[in-house]
Amino acid sequence: MKATKASKAPKSLKASKAPKSSKSSSSDTAAPSAAPLDCDVTTFGELQNVTAGADPAQNVTLALCSGTIVFTKQIMLRDKQLAFTCPNGGCVLDADSESRIFNFQGDVNVISFDGITFKNGKVSSVSPQ
């Protein structure tokens, strides 16, 4: 078993686009609108970029937006500390029967998933334990 450093507080990593929020900062008296989306990632490309850019020394929380993210290929996670959440419900990761969804590699991966459905992943072989 490998010893690891004490964990720092989880960090939320945003995708490189403006957040999808309906909040307005101009006035507190504005008519209420739909609740803001409490999420960071809506597409496969965003998910791939955010996971690739995650610093292995940081605990990173990724909030997926409701809906289905269709994978065009597997995402390799090497030595990452990631927490995937679905704050608004209804999150599906779908590999469309073309590939794995994630490929975990390296010595230290601390990955968690909360409220996410995995669908149509494909495995061609399994590594021995």
Mean pLDDT by 10 residues, the chain (129 residues): 41 40 34 58 94 92 95 93 94 94 87 95 76
Sign of the CA dihedral 117, 96, 42, 37?
negative
* H helices present in 6-117, as ranges: 44-52
Output the pLDDT for position 108: 75
13 in a structural domain: no
29 in a structural domain: no
83 in a structural domain: yes
112 in a structural domain: yes
24 in a structural domain: no
| Cα–Cα distance, 66 to 77 (Å, whole number) | 22
Output the pLDDT for position 129: 64
Tally of CA atoms within 13 A in the half-sphere of 127 that contains its CB: 4
Output the pLDDT for position 3: 39
Output the pLDDT for position 11: 46
Output the pLDDT for position 83: 95
pTM above 0.85, yes or no: no
Find the domain containing 48 and state its range.
38-119
3 in a structural domain: no
21 in a structural domain: no
User: How many domains is the chain built from?
Assistant: 1
8 in a structural domain: no
